[in-house]
Amino acid sequence: MKIIVLKFGGTSVGTVERIKKVAKIVTSYVKKKFKVIVVSSAMSGVTNDLINKSKKVSKEFSPAEYDVLVSCGEQMACALISGRLNHIGYKSRSWLGWQIPIITEGSYKSSRVSEIFKNKIMIYLKSGGIPVVTGFQGVNIENRVTTLERGGSDASAIMIAKFFNAVRCIIYTDVNGVYTTDPKLIKKAKKIEKISYEEMLEMSSLGAKVMQPASIQDARLNRINVEVKSSFNNRSGTLITKRKNIKNNKIISGISFTKNDSKITLVGIVDKPGIAASIFEPLSKNFINVDMVVQNISSNGKETDLTFTIKNENINKTEKLLKSNKKIKFKNILITKNVSKISIIGVGMITTPGVTYRMFKALAKKKINIQVISTSEIKISVLINKNLVNKAIKTLHQEFGLEK
């Protein structure tokens, strides 16, 4: 049995006309003799509307009831897709997470799929049916509905592909694939034909909005080939796969960026074991995500300066937490708003010397000052003034020949 998983995002099912188009896409794979499992997100805007309603009802809305509420969007979309498939002569029905069941573990709002029972779906596939499965949801050991993180329908599709040994998982969205950078910003941005899990994970976590990082990690761990393509045309997309499947002579695959960051520097911290943990513990408990972290130890070895970045909306809360933290002592706190992180990503830099030099030299030629530097095996990130983001991306896009 040749199973394929087709996942449709919110924009792809955003209107009745688009749902009709989705049904045509699904049946095109049936005609190619695939057994198709469809996974759908909620129609665009529906989940946000449900969240807003919960906030109006209560500022302390129950997490368990929140999951019941926001999972309704996927239920509606799946019923509409299945209804259309039946209308055009195909056997189909919707399946909610608890009906399969899809078992999850973890807390409400951010559960992860741990097991999927295959029997009912397999029987339905063998009977010629097209199951349309709600993404983003499952059921826990207490038999309560749970949801995955926002964007979690991708994770649902990838885990279904894993448990059903699908030949491929295709993520249908409103873009043609993964680009070297944001095509809205750089007109010469090119679609990437194939990209490794590691590169895609870096691009996603560093600002690219194509897929949720946790979903890419699931694909990587389970070695699921994922294709990202548009539901609005018949063009080929981008294949996310393992490194050895890619023949690429480019050193850098893509450039990601953020535009909503602030930099905080704690000056003159007493350097002792555990001090970094003491700084970041209250931030973690208050769900403040810390990104780039750089530490500089003074020449006398007794003091250190610690710099890190956070999102702009967390500035006031972070400053209060740092100033009220009795476990740490520092001479001053410096806050710089309106900074952005630019990252070049590519497995090619592992075996290619001089990438860092080329990046820094290209930015220097354009008078772009670097405030913070962070590196990993396949990425180099720098922090710059927000006003210089477009200039920096264009410069690096040209430097590494990504428009070719």
Task: Give the burial string for 295-329 (b: 16+ CB within 10 Å, else e).
Answer: eeeeeeeebbbbbbbbeeebeeebeebbeeeeebe
pLDDT at 270: 83
SS3 352: coil
pLDDT at 339: 94
Structure-token pair, residue 102: 């899809």
Angle at which helices 72-87 and 63-70 cross, to 10°: 20
pTM across the whole model:
0.83
CATH fold of the domain at 3-174: Carbamate kinase (3.40.1160)
Q: Which residue has the tokens 């018949």?
A: 234
pLDDT lower than 70: segments of the chain = 205-209, 248-249, 299-301
pLDDT at 209: 66
By 3-state DSSP, what share of the chain in percent is helix, strand and coil, each rounded to 5?
35, 25, 35
> CA-CA distance, 372 to 350, in Å (whole number)?
21
Q: Which helix (H) or strand (E) holds 171?
A: strand 168-173
306-331 confidence digits (pLDDT tens): 999 999 999 999 999 999 999 898 99
CATH fold of the domain at 257-399: VC0802-like (3.30.2130)
pLDDT at 206: 62
- Closest to 214 measured CA to CA, from 159, 172, 273: 159
pLDDT at 390: 93
The CATH 3.40.1160.10 portion of the chain extends over 3-174
> CA-CA distance, 198 to 192, in Å (whole number)?
14
The CATH 3.30.2130.10 portion of the chain extends over 257-399
pLDDT at 208: 61
pLDDT at 303: 85
The torsion angles phi and psi of 383, rounded to 5 degrees, stand at -105, 130
For residue 138, give Cα distances in angstroms to 53, 129, 183, 240: 22, 21, 35, 25
Peptide bond into 282 cis (omega under 30): no
